Amino acid sequence: MELRKLEITNFRGIKHLEIDDLKLVNVFLGKNNAGKTSILEAIFISLGSQNPRIPVILDNFRNLLHTEADDFRFLFYELNYNNEVNIKTYYDDIEKGLIITPNSSKVYNSNSQTQLIEKLNSSSTTTDYDKIPISGLKLTYDLKKKHAKRETSAATIELEALNQYRLTPSKTPEVNKGIIVTGNTQMTSLVPKLDRLIVNKQENKVIDVLKLVDSSIKGITLGANGIILCDTGFGKRYPLNLLGEGVIKLLAILLAILDADGGVVLIDEFSNGLHFTALKNLWKAILLSATEKNVQVFLTTHHYESLEYLQQVLQEDDFVKFQNEIRSYTIRKLPDCNLKSYIYDYDKLNNAIQQEVEIR
Amino acid sequence: MVMTIFTEGRWDKPFVAELIKRHFGEEQLNKIELLDTNGYTSLELNLPKFQENNDLGKLNLVIFDADSADNNGGFQTRFDFLVAEKARLGIEFEFFLFPNHLDDGMFENLLESIVNPNHADVIECFNSYLECIRNKGEDKGVIYTLPAQKAKIFAYAEAVLTPKEFKNAHKRKEWGYSKDDIWDFNSAQLNPLIEFLKLHIQV
């Protein structure tokens, strides 16, 4: 089920942003601090009604470690709890909403004793959350399927002690599975995905693509202690960690798509760490595997080169059929601090690259 | 960048850049983004850029050919077309039509009008060549296709530039605009375009 439209309000650095006409593969472009990564995070958090820990996971991706309950404010626009986060997602027959508000029932602070305060009614519009202690977040998911009643259910996350959270999942079902690939790939996160691929005898799908980066790679397997090993034709298998950032990034992307099956994969700075010679084939691998697995892909980049390779791929006979499955969105900050997306379909993207228009 | 100037083709772009550099200075030129649109019917392909500039308070200028009835154009036809495109696409831009925002014609007509007087006879030679072809056709009852206006400028540039200059200029998709002995950038024929640019370029 594909996400068609997205509306984000008060999330991270995004005051307000609407993105329409989403397709199978969606490329977000923009200057530094334009909000590209935040868009991926907003989609990810909107998917995870069963996992209230996601706000902390997202902050950890950004090396923001929570030491006190007040650190939940990293999610809010201008770090202001009063800016209620609102993320609306529109699928073909489903509308899903997520409202994130601070919770203030019980407070943990690493510098002071845990204290109880009076639980405030978080739905009150008059509460000034910046003046009261915050203990966690309330994530209210709202699901409206066509010809069905609207379902609303809240998830909560409360900081109880350092690195200890009390989690209450929402009763709202998840629409799609989501996997996010960030710049800091944790090898341990790849292991279960690769394991499933090997069990299903599909490891050749990633080996074929890894060969494009390092032609000596002949096989891939799992070693003891969760180490991924590559057969490079020598007497011993090499740990994947020794083969460079590009191979790891490539593997992370492919495993995510092959594992997401019918879901969503979000890739931040997808071309970082990859040599330009690998980009063309990476695009092909993304398009083919996303289609095969019915996975919708959202990615960010600021490399013009990667767009040129995408354009070249889409002109090849076997890939012309994907021209209408790709959209690129240039994200710009407007004078009123709202963000706006400018949509480039294949023809517009092709024209922009030919005319060397600055769309990043 | 404070504005984007959209030209119709790649060959117009270096000319507009040279004109701005000479009459408004390199500093102003550096503030202007020049893009070609690949034809007057391709405005829609550049829609996101027009929208982005409109939203960010940057100016869009369009400099296209007026063309003539021979190629479904003419000053009024193209004028009306661009006004209609603005409304259809919901974008804002100001426009100027070559050669002088008044007559039918194209970029190459303007170029012909600013050749250095010392070499005007080269253009006359080409006109005689055109006349010769036309007459030969009439004599035989055949209508020969006459070389286009672009061919006249090509022939002029090839004649007046050295082979090396011509080759290099051609690679850059321009006709040696930096050479004063070839082109007269002080020609009064350029005044309508300069006046149009003056309305929008703050010096």
**A129 burial class (0-12, 13-18, 19+ CB within 10 angstroms)?**
buried
Closest by alpha carbon to B93, among B4, B2, B33? B4
Report the 3 state secondary structure along B27-74: HHHCCEEEEECCCHHHHHHHHHHHHHHHHHCCEEEEEEECECHHHCCC
Tell me whether residues B52 and A332 touch, CB distance under 8 A.
yes
**Which residue do the tokens 């550049």 mark?**
B46
* Tens-place pLDDT, residues A270-323: 888 788 888 888 899 999 999 999 999 999 998 889 999 999 999 999 999 999
* Tens-place pLDDT, residues A100-131: 999 886 555 555 444 444 444 444 456 777 77
Which residues of B, range 68-127, sit inside 8 Å of A by Cβ?
A: none
* Tens-place pLDDT, residues A27-45: 999 998 889 999 999 999 9
Scanning chain A, the segments in alpha helix (DSSP H) are 36-47, 54-61, 187-199, 204-213, 245-260, 276-293, 304-314, 346-354
**Residues A70-88 as b or e (16 or more Cβ within 10 Å = b):** bbbbebbbeeebbbbbbbb
Whole-number pLDDT of residue A111? 52
Tell me whether residues B52 and A344 touch, CB distance under 8 A.
no
SS3 B134: helix
Measured between beta carbons, the chain B residues lying within 8 angstroms of A340 are 52, 55
For range A60-76, the mean pLDDT: 90
Pairing of strands A339-344, A326-333: antiparallel
Instruction: Report the chain A residue with the minimal C-alpha distance to residue B33.
Output: A357
Q: CB-CB: which of B38, B46, B57 is closest to A335?
A: B57
Query: CA-based angle B97:B12:A347, to the nearest 5?
Result: 90
Q: Which domains are assigned to chain A? A: 49-173 (no CATH), 179-326+342-354 (3.40.50.300)
| Predicted confidence pLDDT, tens digits, chain B (203 residues) | 789 999 998 999 999 999 999 999 999 999 999 999 989 999 999 999 999 999 999 999 999 999 999 889 999 999 999 999 999 999 999 999 999 999 999 999 999 999 999 999 999 999 999 999 999 999 999 888 887 788 999 999 999 999 999 999 999 999 999 999 999 999 999 999 999 999 999 76
* Tens-place pLDDT, residues A80-107: 999 999 999 999 999 999 999 998 865 5
* Tens-place pLDDT, residues B50-107: 999 999 999 999 999 999 998 899 999 999 999 999 999 999 999 999 999 999 999 9
Tell me whether residues B35 and A357 touch, CB distance under 8 A.
yes
pTM: predicted TM-score of the whole model, two decimal places: 0.88
The tokens describing A192, both together, are 């279960």
Q: How far apart are CA A307 and CA A316, in angstroms?
A: 15
pLDDT at residue A332 tops 90: yes
Per-domain residue ranges of chain B: 3-110+185-198, 116-171
- Find the radius of gyration of the CA atoms of chain B: 18
Which residues of A, range 292-331, sit inside 8 Å of B by Cβ?
A: 330
Neighbour order of strands in the sheet with A228-231: A219-222, A228-231, A238-239
Q: Give which of B36, B44, B49, B51 to mutate to test A binding, by max A Cβ within 10 Å.
A: B49
The tokens describing A290, both together, are 């996303």
Whole-number pLDDT of residue B88? 97
Scanning chain B, the segments in alpha helix (DSSP H) are 12-24, 26-29, 47-56, 75-89, 107-113, 120-140, 149-160, 163-171, 191-198
The whole-angstrom distance between B198's CA and the closest CA on chain A is 25
Q: Which residues contact B33 (CB under 8 A, 6 or more apart)?
A: A358, B1, B3, B4, B5
pLDDT at residue A234 tops 80: yes
The whole-angstrom distance between A358's CA and the closest CA on chain B is 9
- Please state the ipTM of this predicted complex: 0.85
Q: How far apart are CA A42 and CA A14, in angstroms?
A: 10
CA-to-CA separations, A309 to A306, A322, A336, in angstroms, rounded: 5, 14, 35
B56 close to A (CB below 8 A): yes
Q: How far apart are CA B158 and CA A177, in angstroms?
A: 64
Strands (E) across chain A are located at 3-11, 14-19, 25-30, 85-91, 94-103, 106-107, 115-116, 136-145, 151-161, 164-168, 178-181, 219-222, 228-231, 238-239, 264-267, 296-300, 326-333, 339-344
The whole-angstrom distance between B137's CA and the closest CA on chain A is 41
Class in CATH terms, B3-110+185-198: alpha beta
Tell me whether residues B49 and A352 touch, CB distance under 8 A.
yes
Q: CB-CB: which of A340, A351, A355 is closest to B55?
A: A340
Tell me whether residues B52 and A342 touch, CB distance under 8 A.
yes
DSSP structural state of residue A150 = -
Q: Give which of B37, B44, B55, B62 to mutate to test A binding, by max A Cβ within 10 Å.
A: B55
- Give the confidence band of A162 by pLDDT, cuts at 50, 70, 90: confident
Which residues of A, range 328-357, sit inside 8 Å of B by Cβ?
A: 330, 332, 334-335, 340, 342-344, 347-348, 351-352, 354-357
The tokens describing B2, both together, are 């404070």
Q: How far apart are CA A207 and CA A230, in angstroms?
A: 9
- The answer to whether A4 and A43 have CB atoms below 8 angstroms apart is no
Whole-number pLDDT of residue A113? 43
The whole-angstrom distance between B143's CA and the closest CA on chain A is 38
Q: Which residues contact A309 (CB under 8 A, 6 or more apart)?
A: A276, A279, A280, A283
Q: How far apart are CA A276 and CA A268, in angstroms?
A: 17
- Amino acid A145 reads K
Q: Which residues contact A126 (CB under 8 A, 6 or more apart)?
A: none
Instruction: Report the chain A residue with the minimal C-alpha distance to residue B1.
Output: A358
Instruction: Report the chain A residue with the minimal C-alpha distance to residue B36.
Output: A355
Report percent pLDDT > 90 for chain A.
59
- Greatest alpha-carbon pair distance for chain B in Å reads 61
